[in-house]
């Protein structure tokens, strides 16, 4: 069984869609980071997205665990032209697309961005590679809310809209176990 411990990076405090923008994380809550580090399996492998908010969070909780190279396939959804805009700004530009993107995710794509399915396929390719390269391991993957939701959707076989209803807080853990050929959801949004 390969166990994924998905960790959402530290907060950015940005009021807008932060996809591929390389914004830093606020890692000043050292007590929360210490609790998170203690909660994770001591012999796990640690990997992160290549965006600095995930990289720095992974570095902060890695401890003596083996650190794998950062992986751009674990980046957040690319919001394209919506990047760094808030919901009201995006809705003002194209209300129908914005509503469909959030209420019926799947093939709806922000201008010059990625759809749910494009993001999910990109991330799933990375997850499949990790399973093949590190079978029967604990893998701590520090990533982003959209990435984690695509994997929750995949593991539970729920529709994307149902997955979008879950909250994934900063510095939370979502655990998904892969026992070929099935996934098991062991916990969502746990705050140690």
Picking from 110, 34, 28, the residue whose alpha carbon sits closest to that of residue 76 is 110
User: pLDDT of 57-112, one tens digit each?
Assistant: 999 999 999 999 999 999 999 999 999 999 999 999 999 999 999 888 889 999 99
Residue 121's domain is classified under what CATH number? 3.40.50.1240
Picking from 16, 37, 13, 36, the residue whose alpha carbon sits closest to that of residue 24 is 13
Distance, CA of 123 to CA of 186 (rounded, Å): 20
pLDDT, average across residues 18-40: 97
Q: 117 lies in which domain range? A: 2-190
Could you tell me the pLDDT band of residue 39, with boundaries at 50, 70 and 90? very high
| Helix, strand and coil in the chain, % to nearest 5 | 40, 20, 40
User: What pTM did the predictor assign?
Assistant: 0.95
Picking from 145, 149, 82, the residue whose alpha carbon sits closest to that of residue 114 is 82
Total tally of structural domains belonging to the chain: 1
User: pLDDT of 122-175, one tens digit each?
Assistant: 999 999 999 999 999 999 999 999 999 999 999 999 999 999 999 999 999 999
């Amino acid at each position: 069984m390969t166990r994924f411990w998905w960790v959402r990076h530290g907060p950015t405090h940005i009021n807008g869609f932060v996809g591929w923008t390389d914004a830093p994380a606020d890692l000043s809550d050292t007590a929360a980071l210490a609790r998170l580090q203690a909660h994770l399996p001591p012999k796990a492998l640690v990997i992160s997205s290549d965006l600095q908010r995930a990289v720095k969070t992974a570095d902060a909780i890695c401890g003596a665990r083996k650190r794998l190279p950062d992986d751009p396939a674990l980046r957040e959804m690319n919001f394209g032209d919506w990047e760094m805009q808030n919901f009201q700004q995006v809705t003002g530009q194209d209300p129908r697309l914005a509503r469909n993107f959030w209420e019926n995710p799947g093939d709806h794509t922000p201008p010059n961005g990625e759809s749910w399915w494009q993001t999910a396929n990109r991330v799933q390719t990375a997850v499949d590679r990790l399973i093949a390269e590190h079978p029967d391991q604990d893998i701590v993957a520090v990533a982003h809310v959209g990435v984690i939701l695509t994997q929750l959707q995949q593991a539970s076989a729920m529709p994307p809209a149902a997955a979008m209803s879950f909250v994934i807080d900063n510095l939370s853990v979502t655990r998904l176990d892969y026992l070929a050929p099935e996934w098991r959801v062991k916990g969502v949004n746990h705050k140690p």
